[in-house]
C-alpha cells in the first residue's frame, strides 16, 4: 500500500486539477507537495521519488517554451497540415461566416451560466408594442385563411394594400430610408403573431424581411442603390424576391450553373459595361408578383474587361422584373399553401454593373454576403412561424380538449390524450424560448450562424410534431377543411418549412455540428488557421498558443464528464434558484460530454468526420438540446421564475435531457472506432444511461395547465393572435374555455339527474325540461346548459360544401354544362 500511495496522490491531484482547470505549473507544484506529504506519512520513499520524477518529466518540457515547441508543437503542426481535409469553397465560407455567442461556451465543457443570465432581457420598444397591438392586430382580424387558400389562392387586394400601406415589408429597413427600423425581436413577434392565423400571410410578410434584396441592400448596397430601392421597398412600391435555388443547385448553392458574362450592352439608351445573365431558378417566394428580383449567379469575364481573372465567383444582382429576357413562370402550388411562389428564367439578360448589389466592389463576394444575411434571416421567419403556430395550437387544443366530451368526460382527461397535450405544451414552451433567444442574439449584434441553424431545424421539426399531436387530439375537427378548421392548413403546410432555407436533413446531419464544432469550438478554428499559415515559424507560434490549452481542456472534459456522470452532477456549483440549479448542473455534465465527444471525434476521425453524417447529426442533437435548454432557463429567469410555469419548464428540461442521452448513446454505440467508443461510454455513462422522458404525473400537470385558465397558459398565449374574431375559429374556441368550466358543476348535476331518464340523448330540450321538472336544475341553470350546448356545437362543428364549391374553375372550363345555374331574377 505504501508503494501505491504516492501514485494515488498524484492521480487524485491530477483529477482535481483537471476538473478545476488549474494551470500546469500549479498541478506540478501541488502534485510534488502531495508526494512529499504522503512520503512523510509513511509511503515508500522510492515510490515517492519515482512519482516526483514522473511529474517533472511531464511538466518541465511543457513549461519551457523552446523545448515544448521543438518536441511537441512543430511535429503536431506537420501532422495537422497533412491530416486536415481539403474544404470546398462552400464549406470554407460557411465555417468562416458568423459570430460566436453562448453556444461557444457549450463546446468549452464548462459553460459560464452567469454570462448567459447577464444578457439583457429582450424588450420591445413602445413603438414596436404599438405596432403589434395596432396594425398587426388589425391585419390578423382581416385575414380569412380559408378564402386565401381555397377561394382566392392569394391574399385579397385589401390585404395587400394594408400590408404595403403599413410598411410590413419595411420592418428591417432603417427609418432614414422610410422603413420601420424594428429590432429583430419585434420582427420575431410580428411573424409569430401572424402565423397563429395564417402561414400564408406570415410567409408573405416574412420573406421580404428575411434573406432578400432589402436585407442585402441594407448591408452591402451602394449609396445610390440604398437611396433608390430601400424607400420603395419600405412603401411596398417594389415587391422583392430572391432567386437562389435552381433545378441543379439546392443546398450546395456554390455549384449554381446560372452565370453572367461581363460585356457591354444597352441600358436606358446608353452603352455601358455590365453582365449578360442566363439563369433557371425555381421555388422562389413572391416571384410571380415581384417587381425586383435578387439573383445569385457565377460571374465570368472571358474578355478580361475588368481585370486578369476570368472566374470572378458568385455575385448578386438586382433585376427589375420587366428587364428584357426575364421570364417569370407560372406559379408553384406548395401543398395547398397559396403564398406566391414560382420559377424565374432568363437567357442573355443584360444588366449594368450598377445593378450588382454593392456594385463592382462586391463582385465575387456573393456567397459570403448570402451566408451572413442568411444567419440573420434564418433566425427569425421560420423559427417564429413554428413557435407561433405551436403556441396558438397549444392554447386552442387545450380548450378544445376540455370542452369536447366523450363517455361523459372531457377528452383531455384520458391519459392517452394527456400525453399528446403534454408534448404539445412542453414543446411549444421550449421552441418559443428558442426562437426568442435567436432573435435576441441578432439584437445583441451577433451573426448567429449555428444558433440560427438550430432554431430553424428544431422550430420547424418540433412544430411539425406539435401539429401531428394537435390533429390526433381534435380528430375529425382537424381533417375537415373549411372556415371552422383552425389546424388543417397549418398541418398541410408544415413540410414546407422543413425544406426551405436549408433542408432539415442537411441542416441536422451536416450543418449544426459540422459548422458548430469548428466555428464555436474554443480552439479548433485557431488550430486550423495555424496549420494553414505558410510561414512555418508563425504557424508553430500560433499553434503553440492554443494546442496545449486544447489538450488541457480535453483532459478536463474527460474528468468532468466522468465525475459529473458518476455523481449525477449533484455537487457542481451553478447559478439558478433552488428549483433550477438541478437543471444547470445537468447541462454542465452534458456540455462536458459534448466537448469530450467533439475532441475525440475530430482527433480520431479527422477529415473523415464530415462523411460520418449520422455521428454528426447525433452530436448536433446534443448541441441543439443544450442550446434550447439554455434558452428555456434564460427566459424562465428573465420572466422572474414564475411558479406557474414550473411544469412546462420541467417537461422541456426532462425531455431535452432524455434526447441528449439518447443522442449520446446512439453516437457511442455506433462510433466508427469501436474500442474508442467503449472507452468513451465509461466516461460519458459511468452508471449507464439513466435519463427518462417526462413521466405520467408531469404529463398530467402540463395537460391540466392547457385545459384551465392560469398564468402559465396565459404565458403561452402571449404574443399570438387569439382574438375571437369572425375568421379566427381557434380564437373563438380558446375564448369559450372559462365559461365552459364555470358551467361544468351544473352540467355534472344535470347528467346525474338524467342518467336513468328514458329520454333519448338527442332530445336535449326534453332532457332539460325533465331536469327542471324534478328540481335537479333551476331555470337559470337551464339557460347556462343551453349556452354550453351552443358553445360545444360551435367547437365541434365542421364544414360542408356543395360540390361546385369544391371544384376549381378549370373543371367548369372543361365541362361548362355542369356549371351551377345562377338565378338572375333573384
Torsion over CA of 745, 751, 753 and 759, rounded to 10 degrees?
Answer: 150
Q: Cell match 435576441: residue?
A: 440
Q: For every residue of 725-777, which 3-state class applies, written as one string?
A: CCCCHHHHHHHCHHHHHHHHHHHHHHHHHCCCCCCCCCCHHHHHHHHHHCCCC
**Active site members:** 501
Coil/strand/helix, residue 782: helix
Coil/strand/helix, residue 195: helix
270 within 8 A of 316, measured Cβ to Cβ = no
Helix axes 737-753, 381-403, angle to 10 degrees: 20
Which of 607-614's residues contact partners 24+ apart within 8 Å by CB, and which partners? 607/83, 607/84, 607/85, 607/86, 608/85, 608/672, 610/85, 610/91, 610/510, 610/514, 612/672, 613/509, 613/510, 614/509, 614/666, 614/670
Q: What is the distance between the alpha carbons of residues 133 and 161, in angstroms, rounded to a whole number? A: 19
Q: What is the distance between the alpha carbons of residues 551 and 813, in angstroms, rounded to a whole number? A: 74
Residues 6 or more apart in contact with residue 630 via CB below 8 angstroms: 102, 106, 111, 116, 437, 587
For the record, the C-alpha cell of 809 comes out as 374553375
Residues 6 or more apart in contact with residue 181 via CB below 8 angstroms: 173, 174, 175
DSSP designation for 249:
B
For the record, the C-alpha cell of 614 comes out as 449520422
Coil/strand/helix, residue 28: helix
Alpha helical stretches, state H, 361-414: 366-377, 381-403
Distance of CA 379 to the CA centre of its chain: 7
Residues 6 or more apart in contact with residue 220 via CB below 8 angstroms: 357, 358, 362, 369
Helix H or strand E segment including 405: strand 405-406
Q: What does the buried/exposed string (b/e) look like for 641-656 if buried means 16 or more CB atoms within 10 Å of the residue's CB? A: beeebbbbbbbbbbbb
Among 126, 227, 221, smallest CA distance to 176 is for 227
For the record, the C-alpha cell of 89 comes out as 469553397
Residues 6 or more apart in contact with residue 345 via CB below 8 angstroms: 279, 280, 281, 326, 327, 329
283 within 8 A of 341, measured Cβ to Cβ = yes
Coil/strand/helix, residue 781: helix
Q: Cα–Cα–Cα angle for 176, 441, 221, nearest 5°? A: 35
Q: Cα–Cα–Cα angle for 809, 814, 815, nearest 5°? A: 95
Amino acid at each position: 500500500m505504501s508503494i501505491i500511495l504516492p501514485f494515488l496522490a498524484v492521480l487524485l491531484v491530477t483529477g482535481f486539477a483537471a476538473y478545476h482547470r488549474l494551470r500546469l505549473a500549479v498541478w506540478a507544484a501541488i502534485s510534488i507537495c502531495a508526494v512529499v506529504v504522503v512520503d512523510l506519512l509513511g509511503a515508500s520513499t522510492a515510490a515517492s521519488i519515482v512519482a516526483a520524477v514522473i511529474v517533472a518529466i511531464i511538466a518541465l518540457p511543457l513549461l519551457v517554451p523552446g523545448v515544448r515547441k521543438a518536441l511537441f508543437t512543430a511535429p503536431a503542426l506537420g501532422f495537422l497540415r497533412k491530416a486536415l481535409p481539403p474544404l470546398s469553397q462552400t464549406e470554407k465560407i460557411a465555417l468562416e461566416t458568423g459570430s460566436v455567442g453562448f453556444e461557444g461556451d457549450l463546446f468549452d465543457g464548462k459553460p459560464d451560466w452567469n454570462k448567459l443570465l447577464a444578457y439583457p432581457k429582450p424588450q420591445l420598444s413602445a413603438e414596436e408594442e404599438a405596432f403589434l397591438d395596432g396594425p398587426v392586430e388589425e391585419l390578423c382580424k382581416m385575414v380569412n385563411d380559408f378564402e386565401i387558400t381555397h377561394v382566392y389562392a392569394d391574399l385579397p387586394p385589401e390585404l395587400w394594400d394594408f400590408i404595403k400601406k403599413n410598411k410590413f415589408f419595411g420592418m428591417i429597413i432603417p427609418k432614414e430610408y422610410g422603413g420601420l427600423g424594428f429590432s429583430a425581436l419585434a420582427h420575431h413577434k410580428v411573424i409569430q403573431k401572424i402565423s397563429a392565423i395564417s402561414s400564408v400571410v406570415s410567409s408573405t410578410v416574412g420573406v421580404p424581411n428575411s434573406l432578400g434584396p432589402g436585407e442585402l441592400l441594407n448591408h452591402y448596397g451602394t449609396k445610390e442603390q440604398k437611396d433608390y430601392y430601400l424607400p420603395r421597398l419600405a412603401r411596398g412600391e417594389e415587391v422583392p424576391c430572391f432567386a437562389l435555388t435552381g433545378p441543379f443547385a439546392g443546398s450546395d448553392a456554390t455549384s449554381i450553373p446560372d452565370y453572367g458574362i461581363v460585356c457591354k450592352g444597352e441600358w436606358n439608351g446608353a452603352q455601358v459595361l455590365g453582365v449578360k445573365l442566363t439563369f433557371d431558378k425555381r421555388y422562389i417566394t413572391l416571384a410571380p408578383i415581384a417587381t425586383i428580383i435578387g439573383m445569385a449567379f457565377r460571374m465570368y469575364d472571358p474578355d478580361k474587361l475588368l481585370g486578369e481573372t476570368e472566374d470572378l465567383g458568385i455575385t448578386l444582382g438586382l433585376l427589375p422584373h420587366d428587364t428584357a429576357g426575364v421570364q417569370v413562370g407560372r406559379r408553384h402550388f406548395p401543398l395547398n399553401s397559396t403564398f406566391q411562389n414560382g420559377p424565374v428564367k432568363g437567357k442573355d439578360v443584360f444588366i449594368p454593373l450598377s445593378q450588382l448589389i454593392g456594385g463592382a466592389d462586391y463582385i465575387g463576394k456573393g456567397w459570403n454576403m448570402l451566408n451572413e444575411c442568411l444567419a440573420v434571416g434564418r433566425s427569425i421567419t421560420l423559427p417564429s412561424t413554428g413557435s407561433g403556430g405551436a403556441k396558438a395550437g397549444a392554447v386552442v387544443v387545450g380548450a378544445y380538449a376540455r370542452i369536447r366530451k366523450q363517455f361523459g368526460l372531457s377528452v383531455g382527461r384520458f391519459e392517452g390524450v394527456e400525453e399528446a397535450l403534454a408534448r404539445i405544451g412542453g414543446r411549444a414552451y421550449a421552441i418559443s424560448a428558442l426562437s426568442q433567444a435567436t432573435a435576441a442574439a441578432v439584437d445583441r449584434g451577433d451573426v448567429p450562424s449555428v444558433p440560427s441553424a438550430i432554431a430553424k431545424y428544431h422550430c420547424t421539426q418540433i412544430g411539425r410534431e406539435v401539429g401531428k399531436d394537435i390533429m390526433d387530439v381534435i380528430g375529425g375537427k382537424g381533417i375537415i377543411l373549411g372556415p371552422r378548421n383552425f389546424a388543417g392548413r397549418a398541418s398541410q403546410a408544415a413540410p414546407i418549412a422543413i425544406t426551405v432555407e436549408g433542408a432539415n436533413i442537411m441542416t441536422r446531419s451536416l450543418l449544426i455540428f459540422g459548422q458548430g464544432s469548428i466555428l464555436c469550438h474554443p480552439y479548433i478554428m485557431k488550430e486550423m488557421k495555424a496549420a494553414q499559415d505558410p510561414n512555418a515559424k508563425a504557424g508553430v507560434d500560433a499553434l503553440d498558443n492554443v494546442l496545449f490549452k486544447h489538450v488541457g481542456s480535453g483532459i478536463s472534459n474527460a474528468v468532468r464528464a466522468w465525475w459529473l456522470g458518476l455523481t449525477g452532477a449533484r455537487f457542481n456549483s451553478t447559478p439558478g434558484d433552488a428549483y433550477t440549479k438541478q437543471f444547470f448542473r445537468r447541462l454542465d455534465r452534458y456540455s462536458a460530454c459534448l466537448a469530450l465527444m467533439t475532441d475525440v471525434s475530430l482527433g480520431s476521425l479527422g477529415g473523415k468526420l464530415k462523411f460520418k453524417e449520422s455521428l454528426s447529426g447525433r452530436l448536433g442533437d446534443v448541441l441543439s438540446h443544450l442550446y434550447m435548454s439554455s434558452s428555456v432557463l434564460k427566459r424562465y429567469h428573465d420572466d422572474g421564475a414564475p411558479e406557474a410555469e414550473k411544469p412546462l419548464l420541467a417537461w422541456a428540461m426532462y425531455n431535452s435531457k432524455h434526447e441528449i442521452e439518447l443522442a449520446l448513446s446512439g453516437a457511442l454505440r455506433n462510433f466508427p472506432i469501436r474500442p474508442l467508443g467503449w472507452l468513451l461510454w465509461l466516461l460519458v455513462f459511468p452508471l449507464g444511461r439513466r435519463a427518462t422522458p417526462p413521466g405520467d404525473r408531469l404529463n398530467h400537470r402540463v395537460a391540466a395547465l392547457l385545459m384551465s385558465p392560469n398564468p402559465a397558459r396565459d404565458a403561452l398565449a402571449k404574443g399570438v393572435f387569439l382574438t375571437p374574431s369572425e375568421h379566427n375559429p381557434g380564437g373563438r374556441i380558446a375564448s369559450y374555455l372559462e365559461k365552459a368550466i364555470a358551467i361544468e358543476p351544473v352540467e355534472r348535476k344535470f347528467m346525474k339527474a338524467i342518467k336513468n331518464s328514458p329520454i333519448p340523448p338527442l332530445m336535449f330540450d326534453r332532457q332539460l325540461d325533465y331536469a327542471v321538472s324534478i328540481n335537479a336544475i333551476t331555470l337559470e341553470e337551464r339557460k347556462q346548459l343551453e349556452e354550453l350546448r351552443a358553445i360545444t356545437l360551435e367547437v365541434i362543428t365542421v364544414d360542408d360544401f356543395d360540390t361546385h364549391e369544391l371544384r376549381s374553375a378549370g373543371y367548369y372550363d372543361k365541362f361548362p354544362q355542369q356549371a351551377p345555374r345562377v338565378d338572375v331574377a333573384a
